[in-house]
A and B are shown apart, each in its own frame.
Chain A
Amino acid sequence: MQDKYDIIVVGGGPAGSTAAKWAAMSGAAVALFEKDREIGIPVRCAEATAMDDLKKYVEVDESWFATIIDRVRFISPAGIPVEVNLPIEGVVLKRRILDNDLAIQAASEGAEVFTKAYVHSVEFNPGDYAKVKVKHIGEERIVKARIVIAADGVESRIARFAGIRTQYALKDVESCVQILAGNIQLPPNRIDIYISERWAPGGYVWVFPKSSCSANIGLGVIGNKIKTESPMQLLNKFLREIYPDVASIATVAGGVPVACSLKTIARDGLLIVGDAARQTNPVSGGGILAALHSGKLAGEVAGKAIHKNDPTISTLKEYQLAWDKTVGKEYRRFYRIKEWIQTLPDEYFDEMANLLTKLKPDEITLSKIFKLAVKNKPSLLFDVMRVFAGY
């Protein structure tokens, strides 16, 4: 480890590794600090995403794919299933392998990667190097950086050292638990989404196949709707009722931002990316694509700032502007949809499911479902249609 770098990235998830890769490609001296002992573990993620969007950001490798998805089945609160062809190709990832590979790509471009490297605090000094206090395998170090890229996930502490309030309101974060289930048989090309206030208030239960005999089964509950039962207890209740025989091969907990992105994601000497910047799709909770997108933008802009010898907001704001007018804009729309979905009672979903079961299976499409869903709130139709235009 050097005493100083042009750019230090804190956090080795997809956003951090991607930022480190693109920053290193610009020729800057880059270090990536990951607090855990191995990048890619634990996997706090349901792992489903859209193939075409993934391909926009990375050259994909088949070893990242657990299953390819072409169908989705919604199960209403009363248990009425509605099965639909996906208008896009979906994929359930092997995040462990993906995250590993992204870090390897960053390293191949020259970024120095450190694991068991925990950043305690950062002292930002406008106009001068930031001082990053890191404990690396037990040794305390102070390492200087001209730009810090905060990719520290839902905790989002790094940006707080620059005076940015990153804290979530409870209504803007989902509290999630998931098991990797064994002893289960299911079609490997279909994901299941259960909607019910009883199991996942304000969120949903997902069953995403990792193979024909294993699946990620998890749920998320919106923070302000958590009552007496914890998400772990709710998941156990779901498993007892729907999948009583599964074996739990792994259990993970985690928080998923379902918020608008942070307003300020760039400052003098600082960029914030991925979950740390609340860059997730507020309807689905998906964050992989946004992480890859923002990581690339941030890495490129940071590299450019070093090249221009201007690590201040006057160059770094390009990242903020680029995010705001691309995915950031889409996600602000999605946030309005999320806020509306939150208001819908279970009966509403059952009524919709009943209407849909009267159609022939081939006639049911995702866009038809959503058009039907917004019949009482036509002002949202435009927003909903945008969901199907990407992301």
Chain B
Amino acid sequence: MIKIDIDRCDLCGTCVGVCPVDCLELSEQVLTVNQGTCTACGKCVIICPMAALTLAESQG
């Protein structure tokens, strides 16, 4: 699963642009991830200019 560090996130939307399954969404105030459709491919983690996204082990 993808973890978002909201203190680092600049709300730039670059991650949304590379997400192959369209599971990231950026509204005015917040970036959210749909963990259900996320395939943990890690592209958003790589592209984030602020290193605000990390790939974490899903629980359970």
Binding site for B on A (CB under 8 A): 35-37, 44, 116, 118, 135, 153-157, 160, 166-170, 173, 175-177, 223, 226, 230-233, 251-255, 257
The reply to whether the CB of B12 lies closer than 8 angstroms to some CB of chain A is yes
Q: How far is the CA of A158 from the CA of B23 in the complex (A)?
A: 14
- Residues of A within 8 Å of B10, CB to CB, are 251-254
A35-B46 contact given A168-B18, A233-B51, A252-B12, CB 8 Å threshold: no
Could you tell me if A160 and B14 are in contact, using CB atoms closer than 8 angstroms? no
Q: How far is the CA of A294 from the CA of B18 in the complex (A)?
A: 22
Could you tell me if A156 and B17 are in contact, using CB atoms closer than 8 angstroms? yes
Could you tell me if A170 and B46 are in contact, using CB atoms closer than 8 angstroms? yes
Within B14-49, the residues touching A (CB, 8 Å) are 14, 16-20, 22, 25-28, 43, 46-49
- A-B contacts, 22 of them at CB < 8 A, read A35-B27, A35-B28, A36-B28, A135-B27, A154-B13, A155-B16, A166-B17, A167-B17, A167-B19, A168-B18, A169-B18, A170-B46, A173-B14, A175-B14, A177-B50, A223-B18, A254-B12, A254-B13, A254-B14, A254-B49, A255-B12, A255-B14
Could you tell me if A160 and B46 are in contact, using CB atoms closer than 8 angstroms? no
Could you tell me if B12 and A44 are in contact, using CB atoms closer than 8 angstroms? yes
Q: Which of B18, B25, B49 contacts A157 (CB 8 A)?
A: B25
A153-B47 contact given A35-B27, A37-B28, A167-B19, CB 8 Å threshold: no
Q: Which of B14, B22, B25, B28 contacts A154 (CB 8 A)?
A: B14
Q: How far is the CA of A154 from the CA of B49 in the complex (A)?
A: 14
Could you tell me if A153 and B20 are in contact, using CB atoms closer than 8 angstroms? no
Could you tell me if A255 and B27 are in contact, using CB atoms closer than 8 angstroms? no
- Residues of B within 8 Å of A160, CB to CB, are 22
- Residues of B within 8 Å of A233, CB to CB, are 51
CB of A277 to closest CB in B, whole Å: 12
- Residues of B within 8 Å of A232, CB to CB, are 49-51
Q: How far is the CA of A254 from the CA of B13 in the complex (A)?
A: 7
Q: How far is the CA of A166 from the CA of B50 in the complex (A)?
A: 23
CB of B53 to closest CB in A, whole Å: 10
Q: How far is the CA of A110 from the CA of B26 in the complex (A)?
A: 29
- Residues of A within 8 Å of B25, CB to CB, are 157
Q: How far is the CA of A167 from the CA of B20 in the complex (A)?
A: 6
* Chain A residue with Cβ nearest B51: A230
Q: Which of A135, A155, A170, A226 contacts B13 (CB 8 A)?
A: A155
* Chain B residue with Cβ nearest A218: B49
Q: How far is the CA of A173 from the CA of B13 in the complex (A)?
A: 12
* Chain A residue with Cβ nearest B24: A155
- Residues of A within 8 Å of B20, CB to CB, are 167
Could you tell me if B47 and A118 are in contact, using CB atoms closer than 8 angstroms? no
- Residues of A within 8 Å of B43, CB to CB, are 170, 223
* Chain B residue with Cβ nearest A256: B14
Could you tell me if B17 and A173 are in contact, using CB atoms closer than 8 angstroms? yes
- Residues of B within 8 Å of A35, CB to CB, are 27-28
Could you tell me if B16 and A177 are in contact, using CB atoms closer than 8 angstroms? no
Could you tell me if A255 and B17 are in contact, using CB atoms closer than 8 angstroms? yes
- Residues of B within 8 Å of A169, CB to CB, are 18
Could you tell me if A170 and B47 are in contact, using CB atoms closer than 8 angstroms? yes
Could you tell me if B18 and A226 are in contact, using CB atoms closer than 8 angstroms? no
* Chain B residue with Cβ nearest A227: B46
Q: How far is the CA of A168 from the CA of B14 in the complex (A)?
A: 10
- Residues of A within 8 Å of B51, CB to CB, are 230, 232-233
CB of B28 to closest CB in A, whole Å: 5
A253-B49 contact given A37-B28, A44-B12, A116-B28, CB 8 Å threshold: yes
Could you tell me if B18 and A167 are in contact, using CB atoms closer than 8 angstroms? yes
Could you tell me if A175 and B27 are in contact, using CB atoms closer than 8 angstroms? no
Q: How far is the CA of A160 from the CA of B48 in the complex (A)?
A: 21
- Residues of B within 8 Å of A36, CB to CB, are 28
Could you tell me if A253 and B28 are in contact, using CB atoms closer than 8 angstroms? no
Could you tell me if A253 and B46 are in contact, using CB atoms closer than 8 angstroms? no
- Residues of B within 8 Å of A252, CB to CB, are 10, 12
